[in-house]
Amino acid sequence: MKLLIIRFSSIGDIVLTTPVLRCIKKKYPEAELHFLVKDKFQKVVAYHPNISRLHVYNGNLKENIAALKKERFDFIIDLQKNLRSRKVSSKLGVPAFTFPKLNFLKWLYVRLKWNLMPDKSIVERYFKAVKKLNVENDGEGLEFFIPDHLKTRQDDIPMGHYAGFVACVTGGSFTTKKFPVDKWQAFCAVCPYPIILLGGPEDKATGEAIAREHKGKVYNACGKFSLLESADLIKRSKVVVSNDTGLMHIAAAFKKPVISLWGNTAPDMGMFPYYGHNNLKHYPAPQSKIMEIPSLSCHPCSKLGYAECPKGHFKCMRDLDIKTMVETVHKFWKA
């Protein structure tokens, strides 16, 4: 059996598909799994052992479709569910299965603040796409793979961090998903453990502004490491404090304790740290701490994000309690 799994983007969403890949291979060990992904995100699954072949979308969908037709797939598992993925499915002309994206329920939540979202991770909804193949969730959580030659070395970080550190993910796809610089500075000032700041090149200046206030204790790694190297630093950390972003899900894949910071988005949409069968409210993961201000009348204001707070006050992030964050870091560190 040959299957095509489609998930173009982004880092976190792709990591959240990995339980489906593993469980398909458990059910059908001889199955050949192909994965269609955007060029900029291919590293997320480039070294996944259950993927037989990676197909990379670089803007020319017609070229992808021509190549995919030659593969003669038996089934398509569409975990993107947008116009582009539907076009691929229709052109290949083989049975295609997808999942409930619940965009209307998300719209109700964002626009009217009616929270009708199920208390489940999006991973559980992804498994709806393979229900007809009799594939079930094994409860083992997410996966992320880093080959040895792309891992960090001991001397890539300061000696003072060798015995352990807190990984703080300062990056994010939108400003309204990022914990403010002064709040990070306040957290770093009272956190009793060494800290490594993680983010992309675009977060380097932010990292410098945070780290300069706490030289020695805080190491700014933003923009210094590749995605896989940053993921390896997540794996080496003892506790992760993260915005709602891809490295948060990679942390969950490594079963790290995660304190997640929620601004304009909400974990109720199903994108909270997932460790197996945990739900957000009824069966929460003991190694996950959700930090949000659900009582705000304007929260959540988007399922994606904005360049600035639409209300101007940014209370969803600014009102997160530093003391609670530090107490939780200490609890997770000791555990």
For residue 43, what pLDDT is reported?
Answer: 97
Across the range 16-41, mean pLDDT stands at 98
For residue 215, what pLDDT is reported?
Answer: 85
CA dihedral of residues 153, 211, 320, 111 (deg, nearest 10): -80
- Contacts with 161 (C-beta within 8 Å, 6 or more apart), sequence order: 194, 196, 219
> In this structure, are residues 127 and 137 in contact, taking their beta carbons and an 8 Å threshold?
yes
Residues in the chain: 335
- Contacts with 58 (C-beta within 8 Å, 6 or more apart), sequence order: 38, 39
In three-state form (DSSP H/G/I as H, E/B as E, the rest C), the secondary structure along 268-326 is: HHCCCCCCCCCCCCCCCCCCEEEECCCCCCCCCCCCCCCCCCCCCCCHHHHCCCHHHHH
| H/E run at residue 6 | strand 2-6
Across the range 114-142, mean pLDDT stands at 98
Taking the CA atoms of the chain, what radius of gyration do you get in angstroms? 20
Of 73, 62, 70, residue with least CA distance to 35: 73
Across the range 12-17, mean pLDDT stands at 98
> In this structure, are residues 269 and 117 in contact, taking their beta carbons and an 8 Å threshold?
yes
> Taking the CB of residue 282, how many other CB atoms lie within 10 A of it?
8
Average pLDDT score over the chain: 97
**CA separation for the pair 308, 165 (Å, rounded):** 31
Side-by-side strand order, sheet with 53-57: 53-57, 32-38, 2-6, 75-78, 96-97
Tokens standing for residue 84: 């582009």
pLDDT > 90: percent of the chain? 98
For residue 42, what pLDDT is reported?
Answer: 98
For residue 179, what pLDDT is reported?
Answer: 98
Question: Which stretches does DSSP call E strand in 19-79?
Answer: 32-38, 53-57, 75-78
Looking at the predicted structure, is the pLDDT value of residue 32 above 90? yes
> In this structure, are residues 321 and 186 in contact, taking their beta carbons and an 8 Å threshold?
no
Across the range 303-319, mean pLDDT stands at 96
Question: In which band, very low, low, confident or very high, does the pLDDT at 5 lie, cut at 50, 70 and 90?
Answer: very high
Across the range 253-278, mean pLDDT stands at 97
| Residues 81-114 pLDDT 10s | 999 999 999 999 999 999 999 999 999 999 999 9
- Contacts with 179 (C-beta within 8 Å, 6 or more apart), sequence order: 170, 243, 261, 263, 317, 320
Across the range 133-141, mean pLDDT stands at 98
Of 305, 258, 279, residue with least CA distance to 10: 305
Q: What is the DSSP letter of 249?
A: H
Across the range 262-289, mean pLDDT stands at 97
For residue 18, what pLDDT is reported?
Answer: 98
| Residues 157-196 pLDDT 10s | 999 999 999 999 999 889 999 999 999 999 999 999 999 9
Q: Please name each of the domains of the chain with its CATH number.
A: 2-133 (3.40.50.2000), 157-334 (3.40.50.2000)
For residue 93, what pLDDT is reported?
Answer: 94
Across the range 139-149, mean pLDDT stands at 98
For residue 213, what pLDDT is reported?
Answer: 84
Q: Where do we find the tokens 């700014």?
A: 220
